[in-house]
């Protein structure tokens, strides 16, 4: 095949063969370059994508503000115990001042038992239980003894029908006791003294004394 046969000169055939060979080589070279470019582009794209995912810089905010897990939360300070309020001592009684209810003791004294219809004498005992002398009004209008039955019903009061008035400002020394007698007429009464007055029925009753705002414990009396 390397010895061309034909009507044309031999150089013409050689020239054609060289052209065909050059075209084939160019075609093969172009195909090879195209395949290499495709492979290179594909590999470069993967590498670029990998670089994009691997080389993403840390956000600026994350570099400035630490994460919550990295921040150490300080323990709350211990709650201080509330300071105990100082106890305010009660003022000392003033010598020569008024006898307050806390400075006196009040008691009603009875014979214990009396006959129905009799006129017994009861007593109100006022005692200064403080350590200093003090002044208390013992006016008759401030004194009262009330009798109640076992159910608490009022039976008699010393100021119901014959109230008395007087002015008696008394200085009581420490431990001094003043006794005030009150006579009961033996009959029932009520504050207006308008109801009929009768002898209470025999039985047990209670007497309660009062000196202005101070009230005594109850004392028993039996009518027989």
Please tell me the pTM assigned to this model: 0.58
Residue 56 has pLDDT above 60, yes or no: no
Residue 23 has pLDDT above 60, yes or no: yes
Residue 16 has pLDDT above 60, yes or no: yes
- 54 pLDDT band, cuts 50/70/90, is low
Cβ within 8 Å of residue 150, ≥6 positions away = 203, 204, 205, 206
Tens of pLDDT, residue by residue over 156-174, are 999 999 888 889 999 999 9
Q: How far apart are CA 52 and CA 134, in angstroms?
A: 101
Instruction: Give the DSSP H or E segment for 128.
Output: strand 121-128
Provide the b/e sequence for 28-66 (b: ≥16 CB within 10 Å).
eeeeeeeeeeeeeeeeeeeeeeeeeeeeeeeeeeeeeee
10-14, 55-59, 121-125: least confident range: 55-59
Residue 110, burial from CB neighbour count under 10 angstroms (0-12, 13-18, 19+): buried
Structure tokens at 140: 């008759």
- 63 pLDDT band, cuts 50/70/90, is low
Looking at residue 151, its pLDDT comes to: 94
27-31, 69-73, 118-122, 151-155: least confident range: 69-73
Looking at residue 91, its pLDDT comes to: 63
Tens of pLDDT, residue by residue over 86-131, are 676 656 777 889 999 999 999 999 999 999 999 999 999 999 999 9
């Amino acid at each position: 095949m390397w010895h061309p046969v034909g009507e044309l000169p031999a150089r013409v055939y050689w020239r054609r063969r060289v052209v065909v060979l050059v075209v084939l080589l160019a075609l093969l070279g172009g195909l090879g370059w195209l395949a290499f470019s495709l492979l290179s582009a594909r590999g470069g794209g993967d590498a670029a994508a990998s670089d994009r995912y691997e080389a993403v810089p840390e956000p600026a905010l994350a570099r400035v503000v630490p994460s919550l897990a990295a921040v150490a939360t300080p323990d709350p300070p211990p709650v201080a115990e509330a300071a105990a309020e100082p106890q305010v001592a009660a003022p000392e009684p003033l010598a020569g001042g008024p006898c307050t209810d806390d400075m006196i003791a009040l008691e009603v004294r009875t014979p214990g038992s009396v006959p129905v219809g009799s006129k017994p004498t009861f007593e109100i005992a006022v005692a200064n239980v403080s350590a200093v002398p003090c002044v208390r009004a013992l006016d008759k209008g401030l004194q009262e003894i009330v009798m109640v039955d076992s159910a608490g019903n009022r039976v008699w009061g010393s100021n119901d029908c014959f109230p008395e008035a007087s002015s008696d400002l008394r200085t009581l020394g420490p431990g001094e006791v003043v006794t005030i007698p009150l006579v009961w007429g033996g009959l029932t009464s009520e504050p207006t003294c308008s109801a009929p007055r009768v002898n209470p029925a025999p039985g047990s009753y209670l007497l309660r004394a009062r000196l202005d705002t101070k009230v005594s414990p109850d004392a028993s009396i039996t009518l027989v």
